[in-house]
Structure 1
Amino acid sequence: MASDQSDTTANRERQRELYGAPLAERVHRLTAALGVTQARLAATLGLSPAMLSQLVSGRRVKIGDPAVLSRLIALDERCARGPVPPDDVPALLQHVHAAKLRWSSAEVTGTSRIVTPMVPGPRRPTPTADDALRGVSPPARLVAAAAALATSFPEIAEVLRRAASRPVR
């Protein structure tokens, strides 16, 4: 029993590292903002209700399908811009569910990254690698990490220092 609870706690902490918050917090925020059930949210994301439940409860850690993660991010970003009028919720959910996932090359890192589908509402700037680093750690910790890596990995240290010095968008 204690092991199950410690596994759940560890899984939620891993979710915080991966997604910025435990999925339970993100899912509850979305269901409240949109006035939908967890089952309706699961259908929109393209997950089974059972899988979403396991992610929310911390029995599972990762969202395995990039399209599902993309849809979750798109809904989260839309809800962060302000309330969605109740009459607009069905169309928003349908739009997000039908959105196609696109891949593009990230200019800064040279690796592939997910581009989230466009959701109706004002455009926001595309997050950068600097934004992602600042979302994981405050500037002072980024500077400390840069100092620790400077000798062995100077190029990574420079990225960390740059992220620490840039203002939050």
Structure 2
Amino acid sequence: MSVTEDTVARNRALQVEWYGEPLGDRVRPLLDRLGLSQSGLAGVLGLSAPMLSQLMSGQRAKISNPAVLHRLMAIEDLVADPAFDALTAAEIKARLAEIGAGPAATTSGLRRATSERIPAGEDPDDHGTHAGSREPARLVQALLREVASAAEIDAAADLIAERFPDLAEVLRVYGTGRTSEAEAHYARTVLGRLLGDRSAMP
């Protein structure tokens, strides 16, 4: 192996640790489904085309801007939506423009999204995949994986598990668990508590 190949192998391994799989494996299906070039997708994400190419090829390991990762996950949600195949090319273009223009989410934005998306009386734990649980849960995942590796998150959870088991669980679920597990946890805890508070109001 040359030095370059060693670097690519290491970067791809880091991407698996941070993002669940190499970024090339996450991005290529999006290009196919959206009918976009790498340059077109890079524009939506807010990256230069060479930067996206380097991330996909493993020449670079990390998405340094959390807003870019947020947009990538929003695009993945768009493509995974069962209604995607019914969208026209113009509608897809408009949705991508919205994603590309959208600001990075904030804590207040997460609270607003929760309160706006969950109607009173609706079950928040729809098998852990309620629409209102997806974006906030993924954003928490993105934040944790931006600041620490899976090994570091596990080590931190081990350190506090005895005294703070619930907090350790949050670190593990959002930091190293599957996205579906994070969504189910968010729906069960945050959204469930929110609806409980609403039902108790006069």
Give the TM-score range, shorter chain.
0.5 to 0.7
Return closer, same or farther for 1:158/1:123 CA change in 2, 3 Å cut-off.
closer
Q: Determine if the alignment matches structure 1 residue 7 to structure 2 residue 2.
A: no
Return closer, same or farther for 1:4/1:95 CA change in 2, 3 Å cut-off.
same
The equivalent residue for 1:75 is 75
Distance 2:164 2:34 in 1: 40
The equivalent residue for 2:63 is 63
| Greater mean deviation of Cα atoms: 52-61 or 5-14 | 5-14
Please list every run of 5 or more consecutive structure 2 residues that lacks an aligned counterpart in the other structure: 114-129, 146-153, 185-202
| Superposition TM-score, scaled by structure 2 size | 0.57
Distance 1:93 1:9 in 2: 31
Q: Determine if the alignment matches structure 1 residue 52 to structure 2 residue 52.
A: yes
The equivalent residue for 1:37 is 37
Q: Determine if the alignment matches structure 1 residue 98 to structure 2 residue 101.
A: yes
The equivalent residue for 2:158 is 149
Q: Residue 107 of structure 2: SS of its match in structure 1? A: strand
Write the letter of the residue equivalent to 1:92. Answer: R
Alignment deviations for residues 109-153 of structure 1 (CA, whole Å, 9 cap, x no partner):
xxxxxx9xxxxxx93414549x95xxx9xxxxxxxx79x937x75
Distance 2:94 2:48 in 1: 20
The equivalent residue for 1:110 is none
Return closer, same or farther for 1:98/1:46 CA change in 2, 3 Å cut-off.
same
Distance 1:123 1:43 in 2: 26
The equivalent residue for 2:131 is 123
The equivalent residue for 2:124 is none
**Bigger relative contact order (CA 8 A; separation at least 6):** 2
Distance 1:8 1:86 in 2: 38
| Superposition TM-score, scaled by structure 1 size | 0.67
The answer to whether the Cα contact below 8 Å between 2:15 and 2:61 also exists between their aligned partners in 1 is yes
Deviation at 1:92, TM superposition (A): 1.2
The answer to whether the Cα contact below 8 Å between 2:9 and 2:58 also exists between their aligned partners in 1 is yes
RMSD: 3.3
The answer to whether the Cα contact below 8 Å between 2:161 and 2:167 also exists between their aligned partners in 1 is no
Write the letter of the residue equivalent to 1:23. Answer: L
Q: State the percentage of identical aligned residues.
A: 33
Q: Determine if the alignment matches structure 1 residue 19 to structure 2 residue 19.
A: yes
Deviation at 1:42, TM superposition (A): 0.2
Structure with the bigger percentage of strand: 1
Distance 1:12 1:44 in 2: 23
Alignment deviations for residues 71-104 of structure 1 (CA, whole Å, 9 cap, x no partner):
1111012212233424222111111111111221
The answer to whether the Cα contact below 8 Å between 2:158 and 2:168 also exists between their aligned partners in 1 is no
Deviation at 1:2, TM superposition (A): 2.4
Q: Residue 63 of structure 1: SS of its match in structure 2? A: coil
